[in-house]
Amino acid sequence: MDDRILLAHGSGGVLSHELVRDVFVRRFANPVLNDLGDAAVLDQLPPGRMALTTDSYVVQPIFFPGGDIGTLAVCGTVNDLAVAGATPLFLSAGFILEEGLSLETLERVVHSMAAMAQEAGVQIITGDTKVVESGAADELFINTAGVGIVPPGVDLAPANLRPGDVLLVNGTVGDHGIAVMIQREGMDFSSALQSDCAPLNGLIARVLDAAPGAVRCMRDATRGGLATVLNEWAEAGVGIEIEEAAIPVREEVRAACEFLGLDPLYAANEGKVVVATAPEAADAALAALRAHPLGHDAAVIGRVTEEHAGHVALRTPYGARRVLLMLTGAQLPRIC
Amino acid sequence: MKFIDEFRNPALARRLVEQITREAQAYGAQARDGRGPVRLMEFCGGHTHAIFRFGLRQMLAPHVELHSGPGCPVCVTAAADLDRAIALAEIPGVILATFGDMVRVPGGHGTLQDARARGADVRIVYSPLDALQAARQNLERPVVFLGIGFETTAPTIAAALVQAETEDLPNFSVLSLHKLTPPAMRAILDAGEVALDGIVGPGHVSAVIGSEAWNFLPREYRIPCAISGFEPLDILGAVAALVHAAVMDDPTVVNAYGRGVSPQGNQVAQRMMDRVFEIGPAEWRGFGSVPASGLTLRETFAHRDAARLFPVEIEPAEEPPGCRCGEVLRGVITPTECPLFRRVCSPRNPIGPCMVSSEGACAAYYKYGEETPE
């Protein structure tokens, strides 16, 4: 096989078949995919409500410390299902490849996806590949859709939030956004900062088990960061108050943000979930988070309030209180 | 984080606030001449943002008032100068390199972003050295760097110009809109529109020009000045010094940012500026023309002066109707007193520059709006 992607790889001919067989099916191997039918046909699903989600991944650079576009494509979709309370089961994977992409790059990405799918316990059961002319895409784009089942009795939504509810996060915020930014801008920070990209379904299942019926709502804090999730929740008609000093932020992230004039509360995460629980279940939820490898640094960061509905207030370490807004525009490094 | 956490210690901050409040109360109690709170102005937009971010205004109220000053280089760039930059960017072949904030600032006739949408080659850079690099890579095209900023950015832009000379780069030039901070402070005090008991002096600017550059404040205006860094304890330390000076009626310049600022400043940077620039009048948004407040290129650098290389005709610029950025910049009103604030003017739809810039007072009031709706 040629070591670069050609337009013919997307033509449906011999090269397409070889690519599907030697790269995708070999890596993602499972009984449903191996059939290579036009549609994946699933056996009886477990009881519960079905959850369906889709997301497209266009990150640049495609390889970054702690992950790549493939790990993101699996984790992002798995996490979207998991925070809805669903057990993720199956994914689809659609690839848009730029003509000239090295096959080795594609193999690395597909390998990451397979490894991450295995870690998350999901199967990639159907897919598609298109090749576009050089310049019409930036190396490769991936779309994944995911199917999961929400077990009976689980119902997570911002509408469930009640004054007094406790807000938790499973660890340090801003790692992914700042790691990618440092890599993209070629900034020579001598730090080993890595993206936090990880599948959260295992951790989330533990929390749901530890606080049965008491978890109100969950959201993965991806684009727009923690501040955006909290603002979206406040829009459901409650007030939210958080303690700045309680929010875990990695030392390297704080330093990079200080240096660049950015705010870690708005930086993207790919392995962080914000959890709201009834007050009496907060301790159990926190313990469950901390007992999981992806939740060592978990912390209680604030609570839902009756006052200032629709707004997020942040209490600074000095006792002052200010509004934490939704991000407007991009965060720009300071100029003087 | 080393060198940061030490200056953010909440317990020390509270103690400083208690001390400040005690002294400021005593000052306010000397009521026979109608004294109220101690009124201070932080010159620098970086200070305004730090003050809001850490909630210092709330902690100091009501006995100390902090007013935002004109220290935002993007904000004080005159609309006409911006129009000139836009006209320059629209000359076929020209690459205009600029700091990011500038592209969204409205001039009299649109923004650089609009010009870019019409096909002008406007590039955002993080450093003048990036603009030099663009010049090296596009030798057949003129690369103009939009030189805005105070004494903080001017030395690096001077260094870029010297570097272009050394490399004999024929196509690199600068449109110098640099401004000097002490003359702006004078302009505010001379106008007499705001009564002030002290000035929080800019930290980064003073690192270049030195604390002695502010001696005129106590000497000529009997107003104390405390130069401050950008961490909470830096700012509170400076405020404490100013309140004390006001109470004692003993105006001096206090350098509360000793780890960054020396009496004479950074003389290497000063020499670099002096080699490339000369002082002349400058147009400030909100102030009009201020004598001896700007930096233009010296005759020896005339061949790198975009203003001379590309003379462009521009129509007289008008400020956007209703926009009160000028008064905000002079400290006459706070952003919330502007009728456009939050109703029409927001970071998504900025009417004036103070809402665009990451150092603008309106952007700080908007972003960190401390009045939590109940």
Give the residue extent of every domain in chain B.
1-312, 325-367
- Are A13 and A138 members of one domain? yes
Asked if A150 and A86 count as a contact pair (C-beta separation under 8 A), the reply is yes
| Residue B58 half-sphere exposure toward CB, CA atoms < 13 A | 20
Distance (Å, rounded) from C-alpha B57 to C-alpha A116? 48
The structure tokens listed for B219 are 């000497």
- Are A100 and A237 members of one domain? no
Burial A179-199 (b: 16+ CB within 10 A, else e): bbbbbeeeeeeebebebbbbb
Q: Which amino acid is at A36?
A: L
Q: Does A104 touch chain B (CB under 8 A)?
A: no
Calculate how close chain B gets to A331, using CA atoms only, in Å: 9
A207 in any annotated domain:
yes
Calculate how close chain B gets to A89, using CA atoms only, in Å: 40
- Are A132 and A216 members of one domain? no
- Are A165 and A306 members of one domain? yes
> What residues of B are in the A interface, CB distance below 8 Å?
1, 4, 8, 10, 13-14, 17, 46, 52-59, 73-74, 99-101, 126, 149-150, 152-153, 204, 232, 346-348, 358-359, 366-374
SS (H, E, C) A291-336: CCHHHCCCEEEEEEECCCCCCEEEECCCCCEEECCCCCCCCCCCCC
Q: Which of B101, B371, B374 sits opposite A307 (nearest CB)?
A: B374
Residue B217 has pLDDT above 50, yes or no: yes
Which range, of A188-192, A210-214, A247-251, averages the lowest pLDDT?
A188-192
* A247: confidence class by pLDDT, cuts 50, 70, 90: very high
A335 in any annotated domain:
no
Q: Which of B52, B366, B373 sits opposite A311 (nearest CB)?
A: B373
How does pLDDT run across A273-313, given as a tens digit for each residue? 999 999 999 999 999 999 999 999 999 999 999 999 999 99
- Are A311 and A171 members of one domain? yes
Q: What is the pLDDT of residue A189?
A: 63
The structure tokens listed for B358 are 């990451």
Calculate how close chain B gets to A323, using CA atoms only, in Å: 6
Question: In terms of residue numbers, what domain contains A293?
Answer: 158-323
How does pLDDT run across A109-154, given as a tens digit for each residue? 999 999 999 999 999 999 999 999 999 999 999 999 999 999 998 9
A136 in any annotated domain:
yes
Domain boundary among A120, A150, A180: A150
Overall pTM surpassing 0.95 (yes/no)? no
Calculate how close chain A gets to B163, using CA atoms only, in Å: 21
- Are A291 and A173 members of one domain? yes
Contacts of B52 in chain A (CB under 8 A): 322
Determine whether the interchain pair B55/A319 forms a contact, defined as Cβ–Cβ distance below 8 Å: yes
Share of residues in chain A with pLDDT > 90 (%): 74
Which range, of A263-277, B21-35, B234-248, averages the lowest pLDDT?
B21-35
Contacts of A308 in chain B (CB under 8 A): 372-374
- Are A206 and A304 members of one domain? yes
Which of B9, B133, B358 to probe by mutation at the A interface, max A CB count within 10 Å? B358
- Are A220 and A247 members of one domain? yes
How does pLDDT run across A208-237, given as a tens digit for each residue? 999 999 999 999 999 899 999 999 999 999
Contacts of B4 in chain A (CB under 8 A): 254-255, 258
Residue B171 has pLDDT above 50, yes or no: yes
Contacts of B152 in chain A (CB under 8 A): 336
Residue B348 has pLDDT above 90, yes or no: no
Q: What is the pLDDT of residue B319?
A: 80
Q: Which of A247-256, B24-33, B273-282 has the highest average model confidence (pLDDT)?
A: B273-282
Q: What is the pLDDT of residue B373?
A: 45
- Are A26 and A47 members of one domain? yes
Name the more confident of B134 and A43.
Answer: B134
Contacts of B12 in chain A (CB under 8 A): none
Asked if A15 and A9 count as a contact pair (C-beta separation under 8 A), the reply is yes
Determine whether the interchain pair A316/B55 forms a contact, defined as Cβ–Cβ distance below 8 Å: yes
CATH classification at residue A227: 3.90.650.10
Residue A174 has pLDDT above 70, yes or no: yes
Q: Does A186 touch chain B (CB under 8 A)?
A: no
Q: What is the pLDDT of residue B371?
A: 54
Determine whether the interchain pair B54/A320 forms a contact, defined as Cβ–Cβ distance below 8 Å: yes
Closest chain A residue to B128, measured at CA = A335
Share of residues in chain B with pLDDT > 90 (%): 76
* A2: confidence class by pLDDT, cuts 50, 70, 90: low
Q: What is the pLDDT of residue B298?
A: 98
Q: Which of B93-107, B256-270, B332-346 has the highest average model confidence (pLDDT)?
A: B256-270
The structure tokens listed for B267 are 């003389």
CA angle B320, B71, B94 (to 5 degrees): 65
Contacts of B73 in chain A (CB under 8 A): 335-336
CATH classification at residue A131: 3.30.1330.10
Q: Which of B46, B55, B126 sits opposite A320 (nearest CB)?
A: B55
Asked if A68 and A203 count as a contact pair (C-beta separation under 8 A), the reply is no
Closest chain B residue to A250, measured at CA = B1
Asked whether the bond before B218 is cis by omega within 30 degrees of 0, the reply is no
Contacts of A261 in chain B (CB under 8 A): 358
Residue A333 has pLDDT above 50, yes or no: no
Distance (Å, rounded) from C-alpha A285 to C-alpha A204? 10
Which among A213, A253, A244, A218 is positioned nearest to A312, based on CA atoms?
A244
Domain boundary among A132, A150, A168: A150
First to last CA, chain A: 53
Structural domains of chain A, count: 2
Calculate how close chain B gets to A142, using CA atoms only, in Å: 29
Domain boundary among A102, A117, A150: A150
A330 in any annotated domain:
no
Which among A167, A189, A194, A186 is positioned nearest to A274, based on CA atoms?
A167
* B359: confidence class by pLDDT, cuts 50, 70, 90: confident
Which of B3, B372, B374 to probe by mutation at the A interface, max A CB count within 10 Å? B372
Calculate how close chain B gets to A320, using CA atoms only, in Å: 5
Query: Does the structural domain B1-312 have CATH classification 3.40.50.11740?
Result: yes
ipTM over 0.85: no
Q: Which of A261, A311, A319 sits opposite B372 (nearest CB)?
A: A311
Residue B372 has pLDDT above 50, yes or no: no
Task: Name the one residue in this structure whose structure tokens are 């129009």.
Answer: B83
Contacts of A336 in chain B (CB under 8 A): 46, 73, 149-150, 152-153, 204, 359
CA distances for A132 relative to A109, A138, A143, B333, angstroms: 18, 10, 15, 56
Burial of B327 (0-12, 13-18, 19+ CB in 10 A): middle
How many beta-carbon contacts under 8 Å exist across A and B?
Answer: 93
Contacts of B234 in chain A (CB under 8 A): none
